[in-house]
Structure 1
Amino acid sequence: MGVPRDDNAGHRARLRERLLGRGGDTLLDHELVEYLLALAIPRRDTKPLAKELLREFGGIAGLLTADAQAIARVPGMGDTSVAAIKIAHAAALRLVRSEVAERPVLGNWQALLDYLRAAMAHQPVEHVRVLHLNSRNMLIRDELMSEGSIDEAAVYTREVIRRAIDFGSAAIILVHNHPSGDPSPSRADIEVTRAIADAGKRLGIAVHDHLIIGTEGHASLRAMGLI
């Protein structure tokens, strides 16, 4: 037998009081998800579902960044509750992205890493992004260039450079994720980075870095002396 509605309402009221009175840091991960789901499923005890989602996706970061179809496969999740999870992720990304957009990227590196981890670390397949910067190193475009299989995504040097020319980019930062979690660069990662850097140099387009994002951290090919 489920928890009576009055008990659910009282429990949610206490969560709301803690959230509004003392801030979100006072809520455990499952309580955050529970309250979010309660907004979408108001007549149901959402605590068991919240805990199941966190188990299924390995924590709140994995849940928020999970594919909508994967979330929908968890019993008890419908379109409205899946949308609640994805809108929370979209809002979080908008917040951290604004930190990147407001200042020169090279002087705000930690904010950039925070944004990229939130956007890419838990993706189940490889995504390749190119960050386009102007002459002041301000972000002018964050473009998804390729979406690959579980372990690869195609990157074409000519296409990357062509898009940089289209946007009038003074510099670019290459970014992709490793679904394995290990951000160590592969030989192919190094070779394609050098090919793009060489092509860009001939046209006055700098490649500031190639960042690889994984759940175990990140790798910078520039910091590793590979470009």
Structure 2
Amino acid sequence: MSTEEPRSGFEDAAPHYLGHRDRLRSRFREGGADALPDYELLELILFRAIPRQDVKGLAKTLIRRFGSFAEVVAAPPVLLMETKGIKEAAVTEIKLVEAAARRFAKGEIAQKPVLGSWAKVVDYCRTAMAFADREQFRILFLDNRNALIADEVQQTGTVDHTPVYPREVVRRALELSATAIILVHNHPSGDPEPSRADILMTQKIVEAAKPLGINVHDHLIIGRAGHASLKGLGLI
């Protein structure tokens, strides 16, 4: 006579989250990113780093804390790891997505006349800077065909100020043999409206660059909700 206890039928059942993962991947394959809300797209990223756990709650927690998918991806690693359940592996997967987005956006403007693809320039700058937690001042250096030579962050400051030195901007342009530049910085507050200091600093750079044959095409200010163009506002 067998002494084996009857099986309930649940011992070998797959964890419930595995079916959820399959369904989510299927929806993504069929409908793309637009078929998923922010937290579900974030779940797909977390699957690779956290293979044996339901991550829906964790994804929702990250969205609540940082505000959106884009803001989670752009968040500093130290802040991401303050969220319970997020470890280095998850941070690596999240930052890989950020790096891929930046590389793709930069590829859209590389070796092309920048002024002919202005919307892509703005998209690239927003991808790189819109959700940074500190001000960054970067310069796009262009050749005589207005193709991108280099993209460099010159200074990183505080939440509301970045020191900028016109002589250093011009010196670097000369080193790269650039004939034109586009100035870009972000406002972590989210509001892209230029301050009086932004306008004065831009004018000083224009005055220093012009005698040396370097044209300042624009100064873009990037915010979470949009951007401002000093040229578009008639301030250059």
Q: TM-score range by the shorter chain?
A: over 0.9
Of 98, 102, 108, 1:93 maps to: 102
- For 1:220, the aligned partner's letter is S
Q: Over residues 127-153 of structure 1, what are the superposed CA-to-partner deviations in whole Å (9 max), with x where a residue is unaligned? A: 000000011111111100000011100
In the TM superposition, residue 58 of structure 1 has moved relative to its aligned partner by: 0.5
Query: What is residue 118 of structure 2 aligned with on the other side?
Result: 109
Letter in 1 for 2:226: G
Gaps of 5+ in 1: none
Counterpart Cα distance in 2 of 1:143 and 1:20: 36
For the residues of structure 1 that align with 2:52 and 2:77, how far apart are their CA atoms? Answer: 23
Q: Based on CA coordinates, which of the two structures has the bigger radius of gyration?
A: 2
Aligned residues: 224
**What amino acid sits opposite 1:221 in the alignment?**
L
Q: Tell me, what secondary structure is at the counterpart of 1:51? A: helix
**For residue 112 of structure 1, what is the amino acid of its counterpart?**
V
- Residue aligning to 1:52: 61
Tell me the distance in 2 between the aligned counterparts of 1:143 and 1:113: 15
Residues 5 and 44, structure 1, Cα contact 8 Å, conserved in 2 = no
Q: What does 1:69-84 align with in structure 2 at a 5 Å threshold?
A: 69-84=78-93
After TM superposition, the structure 1 = structure 2 runs for residues 178-193 of structure 1, keeping only pairs within 5 Å, are: 178-193=187-202
- What TM-score do the two structures reach when normalised by structure 2? 0.92
Q: Which residue of 2 aligns with 1:218?
A: 227
- How many Å separate the matches in 1 of 2:182 and 2:44? 38
Runs of 4+ that moved beyond 3 A: none
Q: Provide the residue aligned with 1:11 in structure 2.
A: 20
Q: Are 2:155 and 1:146 aligned?
A: yes
C-alpha displacement at 1:216, in angstroms? 2.5
Q: Distance in 2 between matches of 1:192 and 1:26?
A: 44
C-alpha deviation, 1:102, in angstroms: 4.3
Partner of 1:65: 74
| Pairing partner for 1:32 from 38, 41, 46 | 41
Q: What is the one-letter code of the residue matched to 1:136?
A: R
Q: In structure 1, what is the Cα distance between the partners aligned to 2:193 and 2:95?
A: 29
Contact 1:5 1:43 in 2 (8 A): no
Q: 1:20 deviation in Å?
A: 2.2
Question: 2:96 corresponds to which letter in structure 1?
Answer: I
RMSD: 1.2
Tell me which residue corresponds to 2:146: 137
Give the one of 150, 174, 177 matched to 1:168: 177
